[in-house]
Amino acid sequence: MSFLLELLCSQCGLVHEADRPQTVCRACSKPLWARYDLERLAPQLRPESLRGRSASLWRYAELLPVQDPQHRVSRSEGWTPLLELRRLADRYEQRALWLKDESPNPTGSFKARGLAMAISRALELGIGHVGLPSAGNAAGAAAAYAAQAGLRCTLFMPEDTPRANIIEARLLGAEVVLVPGTIADSARALEAYRRDHPELFSLATLREPYRLEGKKTLGYELFEQLGHLPDVVLYPTGGGTGLIGMGKAFDEMEALGWIGPERPRMFIVQAAGCAPLVRAFQEGSSEARPWEGAQTLASGLRVPSAIGDFLMLRLVRRTRGGAIAVSDPSILEAIVEVARNEGILLCPEGAATWAAYRELRQRGHIRPEDEVVLFNTGSAYKYTEVLEQLL
Ligand SMILES: Cc1ncc(COP(=O)(O)O)c(C=O)c1O
């Protein structure tokens, strides 16, 4: 049973009702957070209570927004493996290196977490037509869950999105509109479409409150799988729902009495060809200016501006982490190094976290005694156009 109470604005704190469709704050247009009755839940839900529950993100049902289990639209997403990278840890003399591998999720990426939640809530709240702008993987996940829920789905993607993303979304029954430019142009095309189709409910990143709730389960899983929180988390960041979601999960866990005020040092990892958050971090700004001429082979990181910029910058500063950009050649090198040493093919976004690890370790921001978690956010097999370059 869900302990959802209401939605709160992440900036101004204004309360919004959770029992009807909501987008962003009606006062300041910033993202909304789901708030749960953690005080009432704390005595009933301990980490030990989770043992034996389903091996999916639905094991955290009390902390998720779906009210009626009948409305769950699910293909067993979440509870993905946390893999130890032992050979690389030995080679780099790192105490512990872990890879949270999100590629086994339905449609092969961590986007399944957020979209399972958003589409379950859309179904629960009586929405019939959903849509979103996507750099690729979110489109496949949205199409799959919309098909399972029987909802109409209209997707807007950059025309140079990896072909596998376009093919899967179309085969899964979504209408796909290809748009020149980046995801920012796709977002504008979606808004223009909505003028003639006002019934379309947009599931765009952080303009809909429940994708964040699905993504936050990454934070709960890390804690459960390790039995504690790691020292360092490296996250490949576009819109940043996973990063913000994990920060929210850690705050909820503290409110539940599972952890104290300690937090992993959280790092934003971006591509050098599109690094608006890294620039803002280095400039000491609280918000990020849009990145001009965004270009990288890590298509999921080609996000020139993010509505949650202020939340991510606040989070990495608060946790004494940071923000780092890595070049496309270093991403390609990282794919090869992890493949040869660990037998794992990373997607380019996941490989960016390995490239970032090497750089941060060299600069002394990561120490040998740290326990480090990297994220492989999706399957490498959707990026054959990129991988072929390495043969
Ligand atoms: C594989 C992959 N990794 C990372 C990202 C960035 O995710 P987020 O927008 O949650 O920061 C994306 C987004 O498209 C992606 O597809």
Q: Which residues line ligand 1 (CB under 6 A)?
A: 109, 135-138, 205, 236-242, 300, 347, 349, 377-378
Separation of 236 CA from ligand 1 center, angstroms?
A: 7
Using an 8 Å Cβ cutoff, are 334 and 344 in contact?
Answer: no
Q: Is the pTM of this model over 0.95?
A: yes
Separation of 108 CA from ligand 1 center, angstroms?
A: 12
Residue 116: pLDDT band (50, 70, 90) is very high
Could you read off the pLDDT of 348-364 as tens digits, one per residue? 999 999 999 999 999 99
**H-only helix segments in the chain:** 38-41, 86-91, 111-124, 137-149, 163-171, 183-196, 211-215, 217-226, 241-255, 276-283, 309-318, 328-342, 348-362, 384-387
What span, in angstroms and rounded, lies between the C-alpha atoms of 65 and 55? Answer: 18
Could you read off the pLDDT of 18-76 as tens digits, one per residue? 999 999 999 999 999 999 999 999 999 999 999 999 999 999 999 999 999 999 999 99
Domains in the chain: ranges and CATH: 78-391 (3.40.50.1100)
The 3-state DSSP class for residue 156 equals: strand
pLDDT, position 185: 97
Among 303, 305, 316, which residue has the most ligand 1 atoms within 8 Å of its CB, making it the best to mutate?
303
Q: Whose CA is nearest to atom 12 of ligand 1?
A: 300
pLDDT, position 347: 98
Give residues with Cβ within 8 angstroms of 262, minimum separation 6.
229
Percent of the chain with pLDDT over 70: 100
Provide the pairing of β-strand 4-9 with 15-16.
antiparallel
What span, in angstroms and rounded, lies between the C-alpha atoms of 313 and 137? Answer: 24
pLDDT, position 20: 97
